[in-house]
Structure 1
Amino acid sequence: MGLHVANYTAADIKALRERTGAGMMDVKKALDEADGNAEKAMELIRIKGLKGATKREGRSTSEGLIAAKVIDGTVGVMIELSCETDFVAKNEKFIALANQVLEVAVSSAAADLETLLAVDVEGKALADVVTEEGAVLGEKVIVRRMSRVEGATVDAYLHKTSKDLPAQVGVLFAVDGDGDGAFTVAHDVAVHIAAMSPSVLGRDGIAAETVENERRIAMETAVAEGKPEAALPKIVEGRLTGFFKESVLVDQAFAKDAKKSVGAVLEEAGVKATAFARFRVGA
């Protein structure tokens, strides 16, 4: 290959960097590819999602907000939009962007994040729309995750952990019945999930090896404490129940009435829990 003489100048690089906020190498690469045509290079940079990304690439996006919506009482959609500072999290533009992302998630019926980010929004992929808005806001902005929960009755609950910030915790919760009773209990349990942070719906959601490991630890601890052999099985089961109460939704003590489990509360209402999702910003 012969030597390729670049047909652009240092001034061209500088101008393009100022227009895009992209890094030196990215700009040079784009200009090489575009044979020095600044407009084409600009387009290449945008396509590659590098617009304004250099300065922000390594930054952590631990702030942001959760947005959620329920359609016809049966389909819940929730997204987390992340940014770098709480200053941007409460910015009107950022909140409007989150609502736009949520609307796209609803209207496109995307089942996962990858599909959502690829959705065409007026000729651009949603991912690019978000990157460009981030460039305007001067922070790295990403759609961190999305969830879609369907059921006979679905409730969405958004919780503010600070009065001057948008919602930081969001929950979607589905039950298998409908009507006022089902909606009321679904809402109460959604609020419970926000507060108590279960990791799975039922015990079968925990891997068998995790349960075995907990059982082994409980047994070894009880033996080390010198508990009588005859009492060991009961002690071990008691400790396992305690473990389940921490992470399994239906086993947790209900936030509004700790004397009952969430499972019992749902049973009294004549419904079963079928699915849930819980997001907390940055977690």
Structure 2
Amino acid sequence: MSDIEIIEQFCDQIWMEQGLSDATLASYRSDLKKFSQWLATNQTLLIDVSRVDIQNYLANRYKHGFNSRSTARFLSSARKFYRYMMQNNVITEDPTLHIDSPKIQPPVPKSISEEDIDNLLQQPELETPMGLRDKAMLELLYSSGLRITELISVEINQIGFQQGVIRVVGKGNKERLVPMGEVALDAILSYIRAGRAELAKGKVIDVLFLSNRGQQMTRQTFWHRIKFYANQAGFNKPISPHTLRHAFATHLLNHGADLRTLQMLLGHSDLSTTQIYTHVAKERLKQLHSTHHPRG
């Protein structure tokens, strides 16, 4: 049986067993066919592959500039294929064992300028309960860098009105205290005084931010609210709640915050997660050097 026939048989079988999408099957098919074509130059079949063959193929991909994400995808396809071959007793040893996937660098977060943020935060109409709520949510999100799930889950008793901090329950039920800033605190107080009761519709509920039905807001609802205000502000690029979290981190670094402090504020358990922002710190240092150093 030829490599092409084996690949098609494999794709048909896992489609029947696992109901994978057409896109996933197309990825498997493409990755395996390209591997088969490379093997053919050495007169090797897919079922005769050794671990060395795969390592050589990975080295060849690196030489030709393939990125780590596509290489990781190939390895995922190869592992799936050779496990299938093992299960069907076509081969006796999985050649993908003990081969590590390449580390995939997280994408550099896209941020927006402080001017754009100011423009966005001015959009909600403060004459309506929903406008007061949205203003408070946007200000808190940008002021504290909360995750969207943390934001919509905030309860009134988590707000330290006197101290100007919010007690956030993050991933793994880990708690952290995050400063809010006076603007965010004022927006929250305005919402509580003049908007929240109308949205609550007589219900007693602990969650701070309520939908127009008197319930906890959903992630999707708030995402749509941000998109609505972004359109009003004339943004020509996509924006999401996560964009404001990135803006919070980026703007803090631009104004001199260090990564360890940022890690605590964002609720990252590992500093390496926060280090995706190091490019911001480097650019800040370059600007300072260029501006202030006599040889800049």
So what's the TM-score if we normalise by structure 2? 0.21
Which one has the bigger strand percentage? 1
So what's the TM-score if we normalise by structure 1? 0.22
Which one has the bigger helix percentage? 2
